[in-house]
Amino acid sequence: MLYAFPVHFYQYQQIIQDLIDVFQSTEIEVHLKYHPLFQSSVNNIQLPSNFKIWSKDNKKLNETYDVILFNDNSFGIESLLMGVKSYEYEFDEYYDETRLIGFGIYNAKIDKDKLFNLKDQMLLDDFDKTYSKEAVASYISNMYKWNNRLDDNFI
């Protein structure tokens, strides 16, 4: 599993603690992908042995991870395009961090309580990693459009 962190550094400690609360001492390996601005700021955090700091390698995401967790960034959308099921972690109660707006292909919202269910599904080898890639392509196509009407005032 990979957690892709947002630029909001104030969230890191609580998110990491949530992940530790759920996944510590399991056989599930949790990789933490820190925002590039903060990669060196969080190196001194003591992590359980099944937690690793993400380092990009030449493998495709879908060859390495069963699931991507993210909040307030586009990495989850990108991971869907790369063949990995992703979930928006509902963390911040102060403002809406939804990136998968109108997404109805599967329930892509997850909170700490649902993380325990995900953990159990993964440990029991009962986690369904599949989804319709055609539906994702359609969602992306409908949600994100190129604007051909750029004018001199816009640029």
Fold (topology level) of 2-143: Rossmann fold (3.40.50)
For each of the chain's 155 residues, which pLDDT tens digit applies? 999 998 878 888 899 999 999 999 999 999 999 887 766 666 667 899 999 988 777 678 888 999 999 987 888 888 998 999 999 998 766 666 777 777 889 999 999 999 999 999 999 999 999 999 999 988 888 887 665 555 555 44
CA distance 57 to 59: 6
Quote the pLDDT of residue 42.
Answer: 65
> What is the pTM assigned to this prediction?
0.85
DSSP 8-state secondary structure symbol assigned to residue 100? S
The residue extents of the domains of the chain are 2-143
Quote the pLDDT of residue 35.
Answer: 80
Quote the pLDDT of residue 153.
Answer: 53
Instruction: Give the three-class secondary structure for 27.
Output: coil
DSSP 8-state secondary structure symbol assigned to residue 19? H
CA distance 41 to 1: 22
Q: Map tokens 């909170």 to a residue.
A: 111
Spatial neighbors of 88 by CB under 8 A, at least 6 apart, are: 70, 71, 76, 97, 98, 99, 100, 108, 109, 110
Quote the pLDDT of residue 121.
Answer: 97
Quote the pLDDT of residue 50.
Answer: 96
